Amino acid sequence: MTIKTIDQKNERIHRVLEMVQKNLTRSNQLHQEFLNHQALNLQTLAADAGSSTPIGFSSPSKQVVININQLKEFGTGSIAKCFGSEYEILDHRKSPRIPNGDLLMIDRVLAISGERGNLRPPASTTTEFDIPENIWFINENQYSGIPLGVLMEIALQPCGILSAYLGTSLILPENVNLFRNLDGEISFIANPNLAGKTITNRSTLINSVSGGGMLIQKYAFELSIGESVFLKGNSSFGYFTQVVMERQTGIDTSGNDFMVFDDYQSIELDEYLPTRNNSSINHLGLIDRIAFNENGGRHGCGIIIGEKKLSGSEWFYTNHFYQDPVMPGSLGIEAIVQGMWAFAKSSHDKKYFQDPIADFSHSESFSWKYRGQVTPANGKVNFDIHLKDNHASDSSINLLADADFWVDGVKIYTVQNISLTISKGK
């Protein structure tokens, strides 16, 4: 092949690449126009109805690129109505969704960026979630403030929005249609009162790694009230096939026995973890039985164990996810927090629990790893909490622990440095 022929071939390749790039750029422009048009329609409808703040707590000066109705469509309806006509193919097959109903923790997307079809950074999104003072997870929560499991959902859900916006499911094979959180860590910077506030989430894609038809993506995120950041973290998610997820081997348990209730002191749930719920759905009823040994555990500072029997009809299966029912890992971690709370109430003076304030912050980041799932086919979940610190001062109780979470005898979650500080209210 002559040099001239090579040059001609390279020129043709260059022209083809230019055409592809132009098509991708135009596709991104059309999609952004679609999102802006949807936002304009919503604001017009709100104005016709006489509403000055058309979307929740949001100021009308904010441009909304994906509104609550589109998010609900993504949860249980048409994905194309959320992201545009290019996604219509996903409406006709099983595709990853965001949580819906009581587990949807996003009200609006204010900004989203990234090149469609390109799963590499830069890509980011800014979302908001309004927290009414009487929302279910505040009304039912045993401790003051927002449950840790709910804070995790608020932090993580925008990552799924950004991944979908980039067209991940359009690129992957059709049978790679399960989206799962794999691990993460969170640092708490402050402990503000979030009731009645709007939480802003800023999430950024760090990287995407593919192999064997599957994909792992890592994201960084932060939560703030206005410009005041109170939580930061990062987390990894994976796209998997049904076959892969059904091969649930869990986490290595060598030298790590499954705990039973013999020789443990039981905690009366009605006394130390009573139901706080006036509705037909007991969202936070995550424990049936709980016990402890103050001198046990891996660190010799105490162990707490608990269990919950499952019927397969629990409320969260409907809300997480459409066509793919699975218990949120965040609720497994919330069960662990409830176990720590009940233990603290049963082991420490009642003076700390008069209008108590709960705080999850600690010098060490709270981290988790998921290597399995809880589905309607499972019958029971268990946890064991190994305290690393358990002390009280004049004004507070401080608990720090590692924990494991099991389903039908298989360990599927591990948690490191989960902290709970309970302070006397003023």
Catalytic positions: 320
In Å, how far are 275, 287, 294, 323, 339 from 344, measured between CA atoms?
Answer: 17, 16, 11, 39, 9
**C-alpha atoms less than 13 angstroms from C-alpha of 413 in its C-beta half-sphere:** 33
C-alpha 79/C-alpha 95 separation (Å) is 9
The answer to whether the beta carbons of residues 156 and 235 sit under 8 Å apart is yes
**Quick one: CA torsion of 319, 325, 331, 333, rounded to 10 degrees?**
-150
The answer to whether the beta carbons of residues 99 and 321 sit under 8 Å apart is yes
| Cis amide bond preceding 122, omega within 30 | yes
DSSP code of residue 261: S
Tokens 């086919």 found at: 377
The answer to whether the beta carbons of residues 217 and 184 sit under 8 Å apart is no
Strands (E), 68-166: 108-113, 124-130
Exposed (0-12), middle (13-18) or buried (19+): which is 2, by Cβ within 10 Å? exposed
Nearest to 129 by CA among 150, 149, 105, 97: 105
C-alpha 330/C-alpha 150 separation (Å) is 7
